[in-house]
Structure 1
């Protein structure tokens, strides 16, 4: 699924793990981004957005590569091209890996992100589907959320830190999901379930975080959260990612 820039902006501006060097809207000029693309080819849409919105920044106090004209401490991403891999982030713990755009897997909008082991140089399994997904998964992992509360949300977070539909439906990213679940005491009243979003009208979107069915999404009044969400809620979909895509682009 394509990155939703509204929750991506919220993730960047509310997560203490992500810092930006410039105020929003004062990023790199389009000419600088186009010049970089003349060297490395098309940049991922969400990475391109990051560059033009914020210009430079870091995750967990480690710099994310940018484009010229760089500051003295900035890595120019055009110098990080290694065949079909474009490195944009290196973990700073001395034993960490590096993260690369897989340029040979361009889907017309994004390059998936792969991680290379620091010692062997071998690639792990694909880390995320996009640069937005890279930031999202990193925030989730560093916040103790794993890759997501269930496989469906983990799949979504590999592309985008949540979704905000025109009709007001919101699916949460890792920067807000814990707070929303604490607010409505979901763990106490519906311990097998997780609140993954809401409809802006008083109903929450619930999924199981363990058990036999972790794909179905139910809508239930947030003022009436109870143990048996399936029996008391309305089934919305068994394919959250597909449903969101249809609602967003249909």
Structure 2
């Protein structure tokens, strides 16, 4: 799934801990110069370089091809970029995040994380856009997502704009919208994952066996077992998305 860059801009703008500076987007010539060494860069990271150029997560820099002198920002092409990985960020826990160069798919490279203490490595996101989304979810106390289906979505994109004008929520707005619907108070085993263009809520189970089915509920606070008084939309969030007439993403 391609990342929705409009929603990604929203996430970057409102997420505490993600810092960018105006006017530092990298020109195409700089990006191409980096690619002359690395090969094609992942689509959403390339977008980040053009739009922002550089930034940081809780004060720890995200690598860029031509770091500004004196700021201590790691260059994309430093000596950590070997071994089939291109490292672009290291956090305060000594975990390094990088692109898996051997796993390109649809113009993106998945992001892996490696402990510099143990050397252990594991998957983190499907793309750089997914990396920022999952990082935001974790920073907001949502882990990778409130259920496996939403976690899978966030590994690729910070939400989806729907054809009817609605949206599947990203982690940057998830808490506020669930609070507005009073979900934890009235339906604690459920979660609001989106809203349609008519103001209805899109719900999935947070707990229980079936955490992949999607339901639409008319505006108003949910009650107890949402499935008892909501319209079922399908048994799988991603099958439902595939059936939509051209959802707006990326």
In the TM superposition, what whole-angstrom CA distance separates every residue of 1:181-203 from its partner, at most 9, and x where no partner exists? 11111111212111010002110
- Distance apart, 1:165 and its partner CA: 2.3
- Is the 8 Å Cα contact of residues 32 and 69 (structure 1) preserved in structure 2? no
Specify which of 216, 233, 238 is matched with residue 219 of structure 1.
216
Instruction: State which drifts further: 5-14 or 222-231.
Output: 222-231
Specify the alignment match of 2:77 in structure 1: 78
Specify which of 227, 239, 242 is matched with residue 230 of structure 1.
227
Specify the alignment match of 2:129 in structure 1: 132
C-alpha distance in structure 2 between counterparts of 1:162 and 1:90, whole Å: 25
Specify the alignment match of 1:67 in structure 2: 65
C-alpha distance in structure 1 between counterparts of 2:111 and 2:245, whole Å: 24
- Distance apart, 1:167 and its partner CA: 2.4
| 1:78 alignment partner, SS class | coil
| 1:99 alignment partner, SS class | strand
C-alpha distance in structure 1 between counterparts of 2:170 and 2:159, whole Å: 4
- Is the 8 Å Cα contact of residues 192 and 201 (structure 2) preserved in structure 1? yes
- Is the 8 Å Cα contact of residues 6 and 164 (structure 1) preserved in structure 2? no
Specify the alignment match of 2:182 in structure 1: 185
Specify the alignment match of 2:3 in structure 1: 3
Specify the alignment match of 1:12 in structure 2: 12
Specify the alignment match of 1:29 in structure 2: 27
Instruction: State which drifts further: 162-171 or 52-61.
Output: 162-171
Specify the alignment match of 2:160 in structure 1: 163
- Distance apart, 1:71 and its partner CA: 4.0
Aligned length: 245
Specify which of 47, 71, 80 is matched with residue 49 of structure 1.
47
TM-score (norm. length: structure 1): 0.92
In the TM superposition, what whole-angstrom CA distance separates every residue of 1:46-78 from its partner, at most 9, and x where no partner exists? 111111001110111110001226443222102
| 2:45 alignment partner, SS class | helix
C-alpha distance in structure 2 between counterparts of 1:228 and 1:111, whole Å: 40
C-alpha distance in structure 1 between counterparts of 2:54 and 2:173, whole Å: 24
C-alpha distance in structure 1 between counterparts of 2:10 and 2:57, whole Å: 15
Gaps of 5+ in 2: none
- Is the 8 Å Cα contact of residues 150 and 209 (structure 1) preserved in structure 2? yes
| 2:124 alignment partner, SS class | coil
C-alpha distance in structure 2 between counterparts of 1:243 and 1:71, whole Å: 49
- Is the 8 Å Cα contact of residues 70 and 76 (structure 1) preserved in structure 2? no
- Is the 8 Å Cα contact of residues 96 and 118 (structure 1) preserved in structure 2? yes
- Distance apart, 1:161 and its partner CA: 1.0
C-alpha distance in structure 2 between counterparts of 1:191 and 1:76, whole Å: 45
Specify which of 106, 109, 127 is matched with residue 108 of structure 1.
106
| 1:107 alignment partner, SS class | coil
C-alpha distance in structure 1 between counterparts of 2:43 and 2:70, whole Å: 26
Specify the alignment match of 1:198 in structure 2: 195
| 2:151 alignment partner, SS class | helix
Gaps of 5+ in 1: none
